[in-house]
Amino acid sequence: MIRIMNKKSFWQKLKRPFFVLAPMSGVTDQSCRLMFVKYGKPDVFFTEFISASALFCDNKNARKYCLQVLKFSKKEKPIVAQIFGSNTLQIEKACQIIVNLGFDGIDINMGCPDRNVEKQGAGSALIKNPKLAQEIIRSAKKASAGLPISVKTRIGYNKNELDSWIPVLLKENISALTVHFRTKAQGYGPSANWELTKDLVSLRNKYAPQTLLLGNGDVKSLAEAKTLANKYNIDGIMIGRAVLGNPWFFTNKNPSLKQKLKAIIEHTELLPDTKHFDSIKKHFHAYTKNFYNCKDLKDSLMKSKDAKQVKEAVKEFIKNNNI
C-alpha cells in the first residue's frame, strides 16, 4: 500500500538560502551523515544514489545493498532518496518503495557522468534524451503519492545547453532542481561555471517560478556558499567534496587537532559492519589533511581493517606527539 502524502512539501518550508549535503556515491552513507547530525546538520540530507532497477530485481545482494543505502534515522530528516534509471516502469516501482520507507522527497539523478550509469541510458545520458527525461519525471510523480520530486543535473552534455535542456525539466513542475555548473564532458575538472546562475534563474522565473533552484560545484566553505546564494539570488547551495573530513562544515567552526582525531574514531565506530570498511578510507585522507607529522598515522589508518585498529592508530599518534 502506498502512503498518501498531502502535507506541504518540506522544500517550501526551508528558510532561504538553504544548504544541502550532496549525494556522493561511496561517501555520504549513513555513518557520514550521522557525523553531520552530531557536529552540524545541513538543511537537507540526500542519500547516495541507487539504481531504480536494482531496488526490486531478482538479485538479493543488489536489493540488500540498495536497502542499506536507503537506511536512515529520524535525526537525518529532512532526507531525500536519490535514484537513477532509464526505464519508466522501474522508476515508478522504485518510487513506490521509497515512499513507504518514509523519505521526505525523491531526487532523480540526470547528471552523473559515470560510464556504467550512462550505459544504462541514465544519469547524464538523459541530457541527450529529453523526451525520456520528462517521461521519467512523470512516472516518479505518478508513484510518489505527493512526495516532492526533484532533479539533479548538469548544464549540458558536451557544451552549455541550459537554454534547451533546463526548460525540459522545469516544464514538468518539479519541486527543486539542482544544477552542477559543468557539462558532462568536463567531469570535475575545470572550474564550475557559476556565472551561468543568472541564466538559470531567468529560465526558472520564465518556466516554473515555483521550482526551487540549487547550485553545485567547487564550493569550498559555508561562507562561500552564502556569498554565492546572495550574489546570484539562488534558493540553495549543494556542497560535495569540500565536506569530506569536515562534519563541522555547516557550522563554520574550526575544530582542533584533538577534535579531528576524536572524529576519526567516532566516524569509524558508526560503520554498520566491516564488509565495506575500505569505503571510509577516503574520509581518513580528508580528516588528516594538513596534519603535522601524520605520515605514520595515515599509513596505519589506510592499513586498518576495523574500528579497533583505527582507535589504536589514533591513540598511538596522540601518544607519540604529546597531544
Catalytic residues: 112
Residue in the structure block whose three cell numbers are 515512499: 99
Residue in the structure block whose three cell numbers are 510523480: 141
Residue 82: helix, strand or coil by DSSP? Answer: strand
E strand spans, the chain: 18-21, 45-46, 50-51, 79-84, 105-110, 149-156, 176-183, 212-216, 236-239
Q: Residue 87 pairs with which residues in a beta bridge? A: none
**Residues 235, 201: Cα–Cα separation, whole Å:** 10
Other CB atoms within 10 A of residue 185 CB: 13
**Residues 56, 4: Cα–Cα separation, whole Å:** 21
Alpha helices in 71-152 (DSSP H): 88-101, 115-119, 130-143
Report residue 30 as a C-alpha cell.
Answer: 549513513
The CA dihedral of 314, 316, 318, 322, to the nearest 10 degrees, is -170
Q: What is the sign of the dihedral through the CA atoms of 85, 89, 90 and 96?
A: positive
Other CB atoms within 10 A of residue 99 CB: 21
